[in-house]
Chain A
């Protein structure tokens, strides 16, 4: 069975500082990994994905994520946080066969403090 873990329920960071939101995964076979962001009363928005290739993936709004196979991690990063980045962030893992179902982590609430 595949699983995704987001070990932090909440991350607080000062505006202008770098931010990291952590994600680890467990899957047999190749991982296909995604990050989504959810603003209040809105659906999830796609940020970026790792399918294959470079371990550093660049996405929307200046976010990037680093895939680390040996540590089975896919941490989301941004060099300089904005107050508008405050939201709920979800890591997701897609199976490589069958229905290609997405399994989501429980989410991490990011608060950027002015």
Chain B
């Protein structure tokens, strides 16, 4: 069974630029999550989708971050404009449902200069 796929793996941008990350979850998984992991900290949930609907986006900085999951499969996370403090690893995860264990992709390491 293929795991969660993410691209790109690494991205370097200047502040005020925009960036987008892509995630393809495990086939059949209804729930998709985006996490931000800052160096030395545990992952922090940014947004959770159930199929193509948003379940929880309470910690998403909505003035600059946006995410969508069209057709309930792939998802994109966008940052516009980026700030220095957005430098982190962005992890995508999926699960069969919100009560099942989550499976994580390899992450995208973002560096904002």
Contacts and interface: CB of A to CB of B under 8 A. Distances in A.
B41 A49 contact: no
B42 interface: yes
A75 to B, nearest CB: 17
A46 B101 contact: yes
Contacts of A90: 42-43
Contacts of B101: 34, 46, 49
B104 A45 contact: yes
A41 B104 contact: no
Contacts of A4: 42
Contacts of A106: 40-42
Interface stretch (A13-21, A64-72, A76-84, A97-105): A97-105
Contacts of B45: 101-102
Contact of A100 (B40, B42, B93, B98): B98
Given A43-B107, A44-B43, A106-B41, A100 B91 contact: no
Interface string B24-61: 00000000000000001111110010000001100000
B48 A99 contact: yes
A107 interface: yes
B102 A102 contact: yes
Interface in A3-28: 4
A43 B102 CA distance: 11
B56 A101 contact: yes
A90 B107 CA distance: 16
B7 to A, nearest CB: 13
Given A101-B48, A106-B41, A107-B41, A46 B106 contact: no
Interface of A: 4, 34, 36, 41-46, 49, 90, 92, 98-102, 104-107
